[in-house]
Structure 1
């Protein structure tokens, strides 16, 4: 006899076809980490499980029997994050965070912090003004959200100390000749070092260090986001090196977001007609 239980909070990371009418739903929950579920008939028109789609917050009733794959019997959509689909860059950033969660969280491992962080950064992307110049904000949220998820998964960027002598790294703002080198396997080394994949100036490292805080770095005077788009692009590239080194895989959406960020300034990438 199948056991039925309530999954009160879940964020849907991925959905794919299963058979002719069903859908395979991958979600992350605070209690069990990543779990994969069958949603019977979800691809049929008018199905009561049609909400089994990615990038949503769901409340599920799940039945488990002899099959290792649980079966969704009831579904409630708590939040759709509808704004994510308005622009390609917002969608790519949200998918990047979802893919990174899949790489960081294992099946059966509780992930309360990861779920809360993913929801928070999806909400920030969802709330961006659709008609405004949001590309820089989107890339910044993707960079900070990735850093927060990596830290939650035990792979935080070691931005605070030099990997050479383990002394604190305090970038001197205004000293334009100061540099530090980035090595994906070890972290940051003071000065220009041979073999580094990237070299950062003082303001770039200071911005990276501030991203460990809850809020994005903004100017006190007007609340505008700190850092120009090219700097955020460089930080996104730095994350690519770090993720590839420590997870041996790259989220596919990261490359897509990099392409969108590298487009002509002012380009609007509409995702919906």
Structure 2
């Protein structure tokens, strides 16, 4: 980058820097993850005070080596409406955390920013249309599946990692099972010691999350009950922890917002979900 540059990106994280400055972590389609100093941004009347998480900014940055500094900014889009509900804000924070784990500094990941912005817009619709909180949980799971794939850590949903057999869940066969082994992938059958075991309908639901739209029933309602979506959140969390070293902390807040029982709800028995 030159001494003075213009760039656009989504603010994923903000922290204090010195007495009045902010440290921004930006996701840019052209430069990947980058950290920038916003001088004086913590002062209420600062022209840079709009540098807040989940804001899409057009920036003029200066400086050479080391931490570059924001000279000017324009807010292109704000997702402040997500704060209207705890579950949508937590889901957005979780997806932002996952993006930070997936995108290296200075190395863009093609399509990831575009996908993240689309997911945030869909979470915004949950707030604006007063949709059920389950929609925010489903978007958190679907977004994780899609972002992990873009970042090079896709869930291997096509084949059993031990036998090579295709994972073709027989809907209606309630005895069928497959197991997630985090350091391998999916294995046919209920494997002893497996972290997550799915039935046929649950795996079919998970496989559909690679598509753009959430899976819906004929009446327009979301497929799958709450316990299944919580179990799928457990699954993507385990996969992230195994392959990225950790998983987003915000997933705990999603569980608390969606279910009064919190994490315990996701470890209950395999309730039969709606068939995809």
Q: Which runs of 5+ in 1 are unaligned?
A: 266-273
* Structure 1 residue 208 displacement after superposition: 0.2
Q: Distance in 2 between matches of 1:131 and 1:108?
A: 37
How many angstroms apart in 1 are the aligned matches of 2:6 and 2:129?
A: 39
The CA distance in 1 between the partners of 2:115 and 2:127, in whole Å, is 21
Provide the C-alpha distance between the structure 1 equivalents of 2:193 and 2:15, rounded to a whole number of angstroms. 42
Q: How does 1:101-180 map to 2 (within 5 A)?
A: 101-130=99-128, 132-180=130-178
Structure 2: distance between partners of 1:228 and 1:43: 43
Shift of 1:258: 2.1
Residues 18 and 129 of structure 1: CA distance in aligned 2, closer, same or farther (over 3 Å):
closer
CA contact (8 A) 1:83 1:127 kept: no
1:190 equivalenced with 2:188 (yes/no)? yes
CA distance in 2, matches of 1:232, 1:70: 41
SS at match of 2:69: strand
* 1:36-115 equivalences in 2 (<5 Å): 36-66=35-65, 68-115=66-113
**Equivalents in 1 of 2:158, 2:81: separation in Å?**
35
Q: Who is 2:15 aligned against? A: 16
1:4 equivalent in structure 2? 4
Provide the residue aligned with 1:234 in structure 2. Answer: 231
Q: Distance between the aligned counterparts of 1:264 and 1:83, measured in 2?
A: 26
How far did residue 230 of structure 1 move? 1.0
What residue is the counterpart of 2:273 in the other structure? none
The 2-side partners of 1:114 and 1:79 are apart by 17
Identify which of 243, 248, 251 aligns with 2:245: 248
Equivalent position SS for 2:34: strand
**Which SS does the other structure have where 2:12 is aligned?**
strand
Whether contact under 8 Å (2:85, 2:127) holds in the other structure is no
1:117-158 Cα distance to aligned partner (Å, 9 max, x none): 110101110111457352110000000001111000000001
Deviation at 1:195, TM superposition (A): 2.1
Cα shift readout 1:87-116 (whole Å, capped 9, x = no counterpart): 111111000001001101001102231101
Distance 1:134 1:34 in 2: 33
- In the aligned structure 1, how far is the partner of 2:236 from the partner of 2:122? 20
**Aligned residue number for residue 272 of structure 2:** none
After TM superposition, what 4+ stretches of structure 1 lie above 6 angstroms from structure 2?
A: none
In 2, Cα distance between equivalents of 1:264 and 1:189: 30
For residue 34 of structure 1, what is the aligned residue in structure 2? 33
Task: Work out whether residues 103 and 247 of structure 1, in 8 Å CA contact, stay in contact via their aligned partners in 2.
Answer: yes
Q: Is the 8 A contact 2:82 2:127 kept in 1?
A: no
Q: Distance in 2 between matches of 1:176 and 1:225?
A: 21
TM-score normalised by structure 2 residue count: 0.91
204-213 or 192-201, larger mean C-alpha shift: 192-201
Tell me, in whole angstroms, the C-alpha distance in 1 between the residues paired with 2:108 and 2:241. 24
| Post-superposition offset of 1:64 | 1.9
Structure 2: tracts of 5 or more residues without a match: 263-276
Q: Secondary structure of the residue that 2:210 maps to in structure 1?
A: coil
